[in-house]
Amino acid sequence: MKAGYAALIGTAVVVLAGISIAPRSAARDTKNMWPIAEALSAPEAQAQLNRGIRFYFGDSPHPPVARSFGVFQSNKKTRGVGRSDKQACDWTFLSAMLAFQQRAVEMGADAVVRIESYYRRVPVSSATEYECGSGALMSGVTFRGEVVKLR
């Protein structure tokens, strides 16, 4: 009994020592910029986005605002396993736009203006690209935009 116990302790010590000196691998956290036009023209986006709600990214010109309902965030994530970063990011892009669309409809708005990427609370404003973060398992986007009724 004592010999088995000693062997077990010896094995545990070796395993723990190996764990403590093993190199630590950094988790993947890749930030990419992807084309907004491609994400909006994807078949899924064409099928699900309401043509009555318009989206204006960055400093894109838009008609005058009649009423602002406030600035809101949309933070969406999806699994990245089995997908390219672009596929996963375009999927989360669509999810975020659908959330903005739902909020606009509920508030009686017809547009979201000045949409900017807000991944990890760092604003990135672009009229042509959005930022998406991808790790080993997940991809995600965060957007911030003003929900409005245009004139």
For residue range 26-46, list pLDDT tens digits in order: 688 899 999 999 999 999 999
| Higher local confidence (pLDDT), 25 or 78 | 78
Question: Residue 26 pairs with which residues in a beta bridge?
Answer: none
Inter-residue contact 38 to 125 (CB < 8 Å): no
**Within a domain: residue 20?**
no
**Within a domain: residue 129?**
yes
Q: Does an H or E element contain 5, and which?
A: helix 2-21
**Within a domain: residue 9?**
no
**Within a domain: residue 17?**
no
The CA-atom distances, in angstroms, between 33 and each of 7, 24, 39 are 54, 28, 12
Q: How many domains does the chain have?
A: 1
Structure tokens at 70: 């406030």
**Within a domain: residue 60?**
yes
Q: The domain containing residue 144 runs over which residues?
A: 28-150
**Within a domain: residue 83?**
yes
* Residue 20 to residue 2: CA distance in whole angstroms: 27
**Within a domain: residue 23?**
no
Residue % of the chain over a pLDDT of 90: 79
**Within a domain: residue 51?**
yes
Give the CATH number, domain containing residue 102. Answer: 3.30.110.70
* Residue 50 to residue 61: CA distance in whole angstroms: 20
Give the mean pLDDT of 82-101: 97
